[in-house]
Structures are given as C-alpha cells and as structure tokens.
Amino acid sequence: MNKPTARWFPIFLLPTLIAFIIGFAIPFFMGIWLSFCEYATIEEPTFVGFSNYLRVFTADIGFWYSFGFTALFTLVSVVLINLAAFFVALGLTRGIRGTNLFRTVFFMPNLIGGIVLGYIWKMLINYGILIPLFGKDLSYSTAFGFWGLVAVVAWQQIGYMMIIYIAGLQSVPEELIEASRIDGAGRWQTLKNVTIPMVMPSITICTFLTLTNSFKLYDQNLALTDGKPGSTTEMLAMAIRNAYGTTPRAHGTAQAMAVIFFIIVATIALLQLWSTHRREVRQ
Amino acid sequence: MKKSWLSWFFAALSAVYLIPLLVLLINSFKTKEAITDQVFALPNQETFVGIKNFVRGVTSIRFFQSMGYSLMITVLSVALILLCTSMCAWFLERVGGRFCRGIYFFFVFSMAVPFQMVMFTLPFISDRLGLNSPWTIPLVYLGFGAGLAVFIFTGFIKGIPIEIEEAAMIDGCNPLSTFFRVVLPIMRPTYISVAILQAMWVWNDYLLPTLVLDKTKGYYTIPMAIQSATTDSYGSVDYGAFMALLTLAIIPIIVFYAVGQRHIIKGVISGAVKG
C-alpha cells in the first residue's frame, strides 16, 4: 500500500464516493429493503416478507406478459441487428469508394436520444406507412407496435454494432484469408471457416450489448407506443413504472419487479463476463 | 470494377437510412394537414408555412429554456464526472489494498444495475438533499455515472508505467501535483472518450431528470420538454409545431457529430463494456 498517497483520500476519493453513496448505494439498498415492504410513503414501510414477489409471479399484474413480450422483442432485435450490422461491416471493409461517408451515416442515429427517435418514427410509421396502407395507426394492433419498435432499435443500433464488427474484421490477418483462398475455399467457405471464427470476440460483445439494450428499452417504447393498444406493447421497464400506482401494495410490488428486473440484467452481465473470461483463458 | 456496384448499393442504403431525418425536416415546414395527409410530399405553395411551426413550437413549451437547462446539466455533470472519477480511479489503482479493491468492485457492480432498480428511491433521496435542481442534479449524475467512468479510467491507468509518477514524487511533487502535471496529460484521449460517452448519456437521458428534477419550478430538459409537448396538450397534438421541435432537438447533435465525428465514434464505442 502506497502510504503517502493514501493520506490524500479526502481530495481524491471522497467526492466521488459520497456522490456514489447518495446517487447509487443508498437508493439501491433501500430499493431491496422496500421490495419486502408495503408503503404509502417511503418513510413508513411495513415489512411483508415475500408477498410482493409472490404477487409479481402469481397475480395478474402483467409481469409475465411483459416478460414474454420483452423476451420475444429482444430475440428478434438481437438477431436482426447483428446480422445486418455484420454484413454492412463486411461490405464496408473492402475499401470501396465512400466507405467513410457510409460509416458516418449509419452510425449517426445512435447519437439521437430514445424519446426524439421514438417520435420521429411514430410520425413516419403512422402517416407514411400504416394510415395510407391500412387506415390504422400504431395504437391499433400489438403487431404494429412490436415491429415498429424493432424498426426503431434496428435503425438506432445497426451503425453502432457495425463499428465494433469493422474493428473485429480489420484485425483478421490478410494472409489468413489469402491462404484459405489459395487452398480453394470459396467466398462463403472462407467467411464461415476463417472470418467468423476470427471475429468471435466482436460477435460476443455485440450480442450482449444488443441483448441488454433491448431488454432495458424504455424511452423508445414510451415515445413510439406508450404500451398501446391497452398495455400489450408494454415492455418490462415500462411495466415497472406503470405498476407503481398509488396504493402501498402497488408501491411494494413495483419495487419487487424492479429487483427481479435487476437480477435478470445482472445475470446477463455475469454471463458476458464469464464468456469473455473463458475465451481469454483458452487463447 | 467489381466493387463499384457495392458502392452504389451502400449509397442507396445510406439514402434510405437518412429518410427519417429528411422527412422530419421537410415536415417541420408544412401545415398540420399536409403532415398527416401526405407525409412524404415536399412543401408546396399551399402547404409551406415558413418558420411558423418553429415559432409556435418554441413558445408553447419554452424550448430554449429547456435547451439551456439541458446544456447546463450536461456540461456541469460531464465536468464533475471527469474531474472526480479520474482522480478517484487513479487513487484506487495506485493506493490499492483491500479497501480500495472493495470500493472498485462496488463501482464495477453498479454498472450492471439498471436505473429501474433505484427509480423509486433515488427521487426521494434527491428531494431530501435538494439535488432536484439543474444546479445540483450533476451530483446525482456523478453518483450514478461513476461506475462506468471509474472503470474506463482504471483500465487506462493500469497501462501507465508507475515509474513516471515515482520520478515526479522523488522530484518533490505531492500526489495532487503529480496527478495534474503528470497523469492528467497522459490520459487526455481517455478524458475525451469519457466526456463524449457521458455527454451523450446525460443529454439524451429522459427518465432520471423526469423523476429527479422539480418540475413545479419549470425545470425541463429537452427530452422532457418533447415528451410534455405530446402529453400535456389535451385535444389533438399540433404536429407542425411538434415536428419543428424534433428538428430543433436534433440540430445540436448533428452539429456536435459534424465537429468531432472521429472522437465521438471512439468515445461512444468505449462504453461498449457496459453490460
């Protein structure tokens, strides 16, 4: 331990630590405690054991529906975004004219916030597609909302994942591709047997990123569908906020949902850690 | 020769990719009826309304005030995060020991926690401590954003040879001047990456300021103002004004991107570790 430096902790460590305790640690542990309580106001919680959790899993408050909707949405968007991003990245690593311009364009939507993005697409989908074709808008059917959400997140995230795939593809040694060509492998075989195994790290990163991004989606959901029709396009993050309601029981239940949500997200993060770690050991 | 069709293909794809933004732009100059009836049509003599939509939009929700708050919150938060978390990361890495490793673990742990987990309790605490104004909310961002920033800084600091700092200390620098004169200049690229990453987060963040800021005092950031423009109006939404507002909300981002594109892509990607 570096003693002389350690004495300087009030200047170096304390500001961040205090903010972290206020902005993260206290709310986090309070949240866990309150998930076992019913409360009208946060000052006066009544301990009720696991009954909030029981209600989340058994009562008809829409948790399982939202979970299913979120899981399906996540599956579709992860596959779509990664496939599209990978093939765009393949095309944009062959030195064609305009490569930089194309990368710039594809990446840009990533910088726009979810709320603004959601409303741009709401206008486009409603007045550009659904109303002219079907005479209905997004709030008419769950399927409209589902595919609308997929379109928004795909537009937003393909460029981001593309950049990660490009970095991966550029690190594949040229000689390896050439060797495989000389050995008589076709373009598809080279891709399958040489390129894809070599960019596995990028594939892992992108898969987990899209997985958590889709699972935690809130802003785009709020702007594009706001859960409509009914609450059939309500994803988990939105379901938690809407479950909060006004009664002591609803407060506790919403907090219990938040804890479950956290456990799912943290599990995905742990899986990611484990899979990267395992690969490092193998190399 | 073979590659030129690929260039054309991506040119077409880029054009398609830009459609949403182009449609938004042309519609912010059209009448409400023209937006809902023919969204893809360019404005003509009858449907072109000049900047009337912008004027209506800006006045209806005090847009420029929101932009001021957004700007102030983003700048203060990013400055605070850069200064405090870089010092914190350097301290934790250089001092080491069980205590520092324990704290570091907590920071990394916090990256895996979604905001929903603290969504109900954080506003309660920030209200109590007066962190619900645009001047004090940067402290909340420092607390909630510390994990990722400390993680990225630590990753960089591990690669700095400690001998440089030891030499400075032997020459009579105390830890503070060592940090500011030796470590900080070396970490410049990391500062830029973290700044961009955090700036994009704070600028676009919707839920945290909605729950934390005191809206009765008129504290609205841009995403909050946009959201309120659709939900506060009873009756129907004024699409003309709304399109104008969305356009205005995007302009700062486009300008920012145009100025520092290379840094921005690098910075945003450096957050790829966040799970």
- Is the CB of A179 inside 8 Å of chain B's CB atoms? no
| pLDDT tens-digit map of A57-115 | 988 788 999 999 999 999 999 999 999 999 999 999 988 888 999 999 999 999 999 99
* CB-based contact A110 B268, cutoff 8 Å: yes
The rounded mean pLDDT for chain A is: 91
| Class of the domain covering B67-273 | mainly alpha
pLDDT value, residue B271: 74
| pLDDT tens-digit map of A96-106 | 888 999 999 99
Q: What's the residue count for chain B?
A: 275
* CB-based contact B120 A16, cutoff 8 Å: no
* Strand, coil or helix: A46: strand
Instruction: Say what percent of chain A tops pLDDT 90.
Output: 69
pLDDT value, residue B33: 85
A190–chain B nearest CA distance, Å? 19
A37–chain B nearest CA distance, Å? 13
* CB-based contact B272 A28, cutoff 8 Å: no
Pairing assessment for the beta strands A37-39 and A45-47 based on DSSP bridges: antiparallel
Domain segments of chain A as ranges: 52-282
Backbone angles phi, psi at B169, to 5 degrees: -65, -40
- Is the CB of A249 inside 8 Å of chain B's CB atoms? no
Selecting from B35, B129, B269 the residue whose C-beta is nearest the C-beta of A163 gives: B269
ipTM score of the complex? 0.92
* Alpha-carbon span A81 to A101, nearest angstrom: 20
Mutate one of A108, A211, A242 to test the B interface: name it (highest B CB count within 10 A): A108
Selecting from B10, B39, B124 the residue whose C-beta is nearest the C-beta of A91 gives: B10
- Closest-CA residue of chain A to B81: A16
Q: Which of A197, A212, A106 is nearest to A160 (CA)?
A: A106
Q: What's the residue count for chain A?
A: 283
* Alpha-carbon span B149 to B169, nearest angstrom: 26
**CB interface of A with B, residues 101-160, below 8 Å:** 101-102, 104-116, 119-121, 123-124, 127-128, 131, 155, 160
- Closest-CA residue of chain B to A90: B6
* Cβ contact B112:A265 at 8 Å: yes
* Cβ contact A237:A188 at 8 Å: no
Selecting from B139, B223, B230 the residue whose C-beta is nearest the C-beta of A19 gives: B139
A228–chain B nearest CA distance, Å? 14
Q: Which residues in chain A are closer than 8 Å to B97, comparing Cβ atoms?
A: 1, 6
- Closest-CA residue of chain A to B15: A105
Record the tokens describing residue B119, joined without a space: 């969504």
**Measured CA distances, A182 to A175, A177, B3, B18 (Å):** 10, 9, 21, 40
* Cβ contact A83:A157 at 8 Å: no
* Strand, coil or helix: A38: strand
**Measured CA distances, B41 to B36, B166, B243 (Å):** 11, 67, 15
pLDDT tens digits, chain B, 275 residues: what are they?
Answer: 467 888 999 999 999 999 999 999 999 999 888 888 888 888 888 888 888 899 988 888 889 999 999 999 999 999 999 999 999 999 999 998 999 999 999 999 999 999 999 999 999 999 999 999 999 999 999 999 999 999 999 999 999 999 999 999 998 889 999 999 999 999 999 999 999 999 999 999 999 999 999 999 999 999 999 998 887 555 577 888 999 999 999 999 999 999 988 888 888 887 776 54
* Alpha-carbon span B61 to B220, nearest angstrom: 9
Selecting from B24, B121, B140 the residue whose C-beta is nearest the C-beta of A31 gives: B121
| Least confident window among A1-5, A127-131, B194-198, B219-223 | A1-5
* Cβ contact B157:B187 at 8 Å: yes
* CB-based contact B150 A16, cutoff 8 Å: yes
H helix intervals, B28-136: 32-37, 52-60, 63-95, 97-111, 122-128
* Cβ contact B153:B61 at 8 Å: no
pLDDT band at A1 (very low <50, low <70, confident <90, very high): very low
**CB interface of A with B, residues 206-245, below 8 Å:** 208-209, 212, 216, 218-219, 222-223, 237, 240-241, 244
* CB-based contact A17 B103, cutoff 8 Å: yes
| pLDDT tens-digit map of A237-262 | 999 999 998 899 999 999 999 999 99
Calculate ∠ Cα B189-B190-B196, nearest 5°.
95
Helices (H) and strands (E) in chain A, counts: 17, 2
Place of tokens 């100059």: B29
H helix intervals, A92-109: 99-107
A140–chain B nearest CA distance, Å? 17
Between A41 and B207, the higher pLDDT residue: B207
Instruction: Say what percent of chain A tops pLDDT 70.
Output: 97
Record the tokens describing residue A177, joined without a space: 């591709």
Selecting from B24, B35, B269 the residue whose C-beta is nearest the C-beta of A120 gives: B24
Selecting from A1, A13, A120 the residue whose C-beta is nearest the C-beta of B88 gives: A13
CATH number of A52-282: 1.10.3720.10
CB pairs under 8 A between A and B: 265
* CB-based contact B204 A114, cutoff 8 Å: yes
